[in-house]
Each structure stands twice: as C-alpha cells, then as structure tokens.
Amino acid sequence: MADTAEVATAAGSKDPSVGLRAVRSLRVLVERLEVLQVQNARDQGWTWEQIAQLLGVTRQAVHKKYAGGRGPLRRKD
C-alpha cells in the first residue's frame, strides 16, 4: 500500500492518464454505492421521495433510474 506521501504526490500528478482513470473509477464506485443504498432504503420502506431528497435529485429521476423497466431494482411483482 502506498504511504501518505506517495498518495499525495500521485494526487498532484498532472498525468491525464492517471487523473482520468481515477475520475472514471470514482464514477463507477459512486454508481455501485448508489445502487446498494437505494436498494437498502427501499428494503427499509423508504419512499422514492425520501430517497430522492437525500440524493439531491428529483423523485422522477430516481424513480426512472431504479424503478422503471429493466433497472436492477425494478419491482418483481
């Protein structure tokens, strides 16, 4: 594992191939965490409205992304 100084140096790196890969990976990480957290909130009986509010998006946005059609959290009934 890189030590703190190494990480700091890399974070300051201006090499786009490092920086852009980091951004992409962060986006993937955010997406995966969002699916988990939305799923968990629904399991605990949260409404789309409540979820949307905390995610800072509209109810329609979160509903469309997770409840509609072929999304991972679509209703199974």
Chain residues binding other proteins by CB under 8 A are 1-2, 7-8, 10-11, 13, 17-22, 24-26, 28-29, 32-33, 35-36, 40, 72
Min dist. Cβ of residue 17 to other proteins (A): 7
Nearer to other proteins, 39 or 58 (CB): 39
Q: How many CB atoms within 10 Å of residue 46?
A: 15
Q: Give residues with Cβ within 8 angstroms of 7, minimum separation 6.
A: none
Min dist. Cβ of residue 56 to other proteins (A): 21
Min dist. Cβ of residue 32 to other proteins (A): 6
Specify burial of residue 42 (Cβ count, 10 A radius: 0-12, 13-18, 19+): middle
